[in-house]
Amino acid sequence: MFEQNQKLSGAPAKKIVIVGGGTAGWMAANLMAKNWANKGFEITLIESPDIGIIGVGEGSTPQLKGFMDSLGISEQEWMPACNATYKLGIKFKDWSVRPGFTSYFHPFPAQPDDYTAPAFFHNSYVRRQGVDVQGHPDHFFLATHLAAQKKSPIASENFPFEINYGYHFDSTLLGQFLAQFARDNGVKHVQATINDVRLGAGGDIVSVVTEGGQEISGDLFVDCSGFRGLLIQQALKSNFVSFGKNLFNDSAVVVQTPGTEELESQTISTALKYGWAWKIPLTSRIGNGYVFSSSFCTPDQAETEFRQHLGLQESDVAVRHLKMKVGRLEQHWAKNCVAVGLSQGFIEPLEATALHLVQETVEGFIDAFEKGSFTDRNRAQFNNSINDRFEAVRNYIVAHYRVNSRSDTDYWVENARNEHLSSSLRSVLEAWIRGKNISDELDRQDIDRYYPSISWNCLLAGYGLYPEQHQLKPGNELANKYDLNNIQDFIHRCSLNFQSHRDELNRMMGS
């Protein structure tokens, strides 16, 4: 039970202590300040001046727009301050070796898809029945076309459809921007390293103690201390569930390279021998990283391959090596502590979902908190809903590895053979392979709110998970129900309403 329940529901002491000043800490601080600062809550964020932030995490889903909008922060304010760019989706290169399917684009959903996605669903279904129709997702989505042309997702004023998009940004600058915004909105910022966590008789956290001996007490503690999970894992011993059995990657090597005049509006994810490399364009530079499995190669081997991939000599620039703890807590909210960010878990960054999970966790917690009753049932509901989201993201990411068709290393072969699949993922893959409509399967499992049918279809069709070309029969009129020329024409005409990504960002910055 939450010991200070009385105080929280009544007054006077409503002290929230956030430990950690990475992106998760400052996102939590801002959302909590927005909801509670004018209700008499006191929010303090403690950040160690000696332990740095992870300093990676430069891609988002469209959810981040909702976060900024909810705080009333415009793109004109935050994007230039964080060297940010727009993101229409992710291009996956070399994950599949099937002819004609060595790359595909995973678009964020957008309104014009209503006109083109039915044709894609139809074709991907018919091709799985063994009929030779166009089944590659890249032919069906406006976002794919815009990204290929390095256009921005911001339409001219008269364009009647909404486009969803995410962002790329410098994570250090974003942290600094959010820190200033939080301080301006009343969040108290303490720079100190915590070296002790004190628990009360019932097991709740009573206070944290800094290296300098200052004791900071609170009613509610938010653990944003990164992978170390200082409060939730170390002090409260919340159990950590590893995802290592079906997500092998546990390491990354990162480096920044100079920017280019032409600016991509997509993340590029290229499969390498022991994992995959990201390329994230910012206005100031490019962020690159290679996420790999240390069970299949050494960090030195990964670094050598990564440098070759980027065309970088050893003398050019230093790289940074990182370890990743992949999995999730069993309980994200335990006692009077909620964990947010890397402390609550991490799924490798293939779909850039970590900040999305941060936002969902904080918003979900605020909802639960507002309901006011800190019962075990309430806490369990919250934990289940966060775990469901973690598992849904995990399934979608695992699918990328399970359906790969590379055979150049044991890493890829083992991934394709891996039988550690959840029953949910197994059913989705079976539905696809048996030629069924997978939207029905997603509906049946009620999981299309996490990844919609378009995402699953793009993934499986994008890898070319179809009968072999020689097994396909020519398409008849029924199979070719949708005229691809009309679709291409519609997409092309829509795209005339968008300008180049670089021009759009220059316009925003007034140059």
Ligand X SMILES: Cc1cc2nc3c(=O)[nH]c(=O)nc-3n(C[C@H](O)[C@H](O)[C@H](O)COP(=O)(O)OP(=O)(O)OC[C@H]3O[C@@H](n4cnc5c(N)ncnc54)[C@H](O)[C@@H]3O)c2cc1C
Q: Which residues are catalytic?
A: 87
**CA-based max dimension of the chain:** 78
Q: Tokens 């990411």 label which residue? A: 397
Which of residues 2, 59, 116, 457 is near ligand X by CB under 6 A? 59
Q: Does 266 bind ligand X (CB under 6 A)?
A: no
Q: Which stretch binds ligand X (CB under 6 A): 43-51, 149-157, 298-306, 361-369?
A: 43-51
Q: List the helix and strand counts (H, then E) for the chain.
A: 16, 25
Read off the DSSP letter of residue 349: G
Question: What is the Cα Rg of the chain in Å?
Answer: 24
Q: Is 336 in the site for ligand X (CB under 6 A)?
A: no
The distance of closest approach from Cβ of residue 22 to ligand X in the complex, given in angstroms and rounded to an integer, is 2
**Does residue number 47 form part of the binding site for ligand X (CB under 6 A)?**
yes
Specify the residue, 23 or 395, whose C-beta has the smaller distance to ligand X: 23
Cβ closest to ligand X, residue 126 vs residue 386 = 386
Q: Tell me the two tokens of residue 254.
A: 């990162």
Asked if residue 171 binds ligand X (CB under 6 A), the reply is yes
Q: What residues contact 308, with CB distance under 8 A and at least 6 apart?
A: none
Rounded to the nearest whole angstrom, what is the least distance from the CB of residue 352 to ligand X in the complex? Answer: 4
Instruction: Determine the Cα–Cα distance for residues 204 and 81; give it in Å rounded to an integer.
Output: 39
Binding positions for ligand X, 218-257, rule CB under 6 A: 224-226, 228, 230, 252
DSSP string spanning 415-434?
HHH-----HHHHHHHHHHHT
Decide whether 226 or 462 has the Cβ nearer to ligand X: 226
Rounded Cα gap, residues 511 and 507, in angstroms: 6
Pair type for strands 333-334 and 215-217: unpaired
238-251 as b/e: b if 16+ CB within 10 A = beeeebeebbbbbb
Task: Enter the DSSP assignment of 272.
Answer: -
Q: Which of 16, 110, 342, 459 binds ligand X (CB under 6 A)?
A: 342
Range in contact with ligand X (rule: CB under 6 A) among 110-118, 351-359, 463-471, 489-497: 351-359
Q: Does 116 engage in binding with ligand X (CB under 6 A)?
A: no
Of 40-48, 116-124, 269-277, 447-455, which part binds ligand X (CB under 6 A)? 40-48
Instruction: Decide if residue 96 touches ligand X (CB under 6 A).
Output: no
Distance CA 377, CA 2 (A): 12
Kindly tell me which of 61 and 116 has the beta carbon lying closer to ligand X.
61
Given 9, 193, 242, 260, the residue binding ligand X (CB under 6 A):
193
Contact call for residue 57 and ligand X (CB under 6 A): yes
Q: Which of residues 276-335 bind ligand X (CB under 6 A)?
A: 289, 291, 322, 324
Cβ contact 78:168 at 8 Å: no
Q: How far is the CB of 124 from ligand X (least distance, A)?
A: 28
Q: What is the DSSP string of 213-250?
A: S-EEE-SEEEE--GGG-IIIIIIT---EEE-TTT----
Q: How far is the CB of 277 from ligand X (least distance, A)?
A: 11
Helix, strand or coil for residue 95? coil
Cβ at position 190, least distance to ligand X in Å: 9
Q: Which of 146, 154, 355, 431 binds ligand X (CB under 6 A)?
A: 355
Specify which residues 107 forms β-bridges with. Answer: 89
Residue 493: partners with Cβ closer than 8 Å, 6 or more residues away: none
Closer to ligand X by CB, 49 or 72: give it. Answer: 49
Strand partners, 19: 46, 223
Nearer to ligand X, 23 or 497 (CB): 23
Footprint of ligand X (CB under 6 A): 19-25, 46-48, 51, 53-54, 56-60, 171, 193-194, 224-226, 228, 230, 252, 289, 291, 322, 324, 341-343, 349, 352, 354-355
